Amino acid sequence: MALPTKYRSDDNNELHEKLKWSFSCAIDKSDFLKQSKDYKSIEGWYNQAKKTSDNISNPSIVSGEMIKELLNHVYPHYTNIIIENTDMNIKSTDRGVQSDFDIEIVIMKPYVEFVKILNGEPMPAAKFTFELRIRTSISIFKPVNNSSSEYIELKKLGIELEILLLQMPYFYVSEPIKLTTKTFEIQNIRLPRKRQY
């Protein structure tokens, strides 16, 4: 797996930010998605709501809400997968000798729903479904990981993330539409052993 870009981090904030950046690239740079009737319809909802409420910001909030919801779905689950696989690797190695390893491809299908309120009643949700295919390579710091450690410290976390669009509210998607593929590497990352929910 090619990993041309490197980042350094003392905790898992860098992972959160790189996932956010990947989702932003997938949504904000997709002409197909942003020019679609589905996306523009939801922008129209926000335009209408903005006329009657000062709490509604620019229609670009649509992409912001998509990115936020994808992070809410993906980040905790993916972080737990990394922690669980690292723990298993540590426990299975002989006398604490830990080697680099890859995590089997992780496939997630997060979705984002928008609901229009008409005359005080919610309308059927407009749902966008995505597919994420994540390949992960991990290098572990040998001296610091044991069962009593509060954190798992990784020397290197390499990620290849492919993002596809599976479903839109009105337009029929006959086959997955690739939005982007991102590869990046984070060095010196620390993850809390406590599961994140």
- Contact at 8 Å (CB) between 103 and 139? no
pTM above 0.85, yes or no: no
pLDDT for residue 162: 98
What's the rounded Cα separation, in Å, for the pair 65 and 43? 12
Whose tokens are 């009643």? That residue is 121
Given a cut of 80, whether residue 151 has pLDDT beyond it is no
pLDDT for residue 154: 87
Given a cut of 90, whether residue 48 has pLDDT beyond it is no
Q: Which H helix or E strand runs over 91?
A: helix 61-92
What's the rounded Cα separation, in Å, for the pair 89 and 143? 14
Decide: residue 195, CB within 10 A, 0-12 exposed, 13-18 middle, 19+ buried: exposed
Higher-confidence position of 11 and 63: 63
pLDDT for residue 8: 38
> pLDDT-derived band of residue 194, with 50, 70 and 90 as boundaries?
low
SS3 call for 36: coil
Q: What is the DSSP string of 99-135?
A: --EEEEEEEE--EEEE--EETTEEPPPEEEEEEEEEE
Nearest by Cα to 98 from 27, 173, 152, 172? 152
- Contact at 8 Å (CB) between 15 and 9? yes
- Per-residue pLDDT tens digits for 105-134: 999 999 999 988 888 888 888 999 999 999
Q: Per mean pLDDT, which range of 13-17, 88-92, 184-188 is the poorest?
A: 88-92
Mean of the per-residue pLDDT values of the chain:
82
Higher-confidence position of 139 and 59: 139
Given a cut of 60, whether residue 85 has pLDDT beyond it is yes
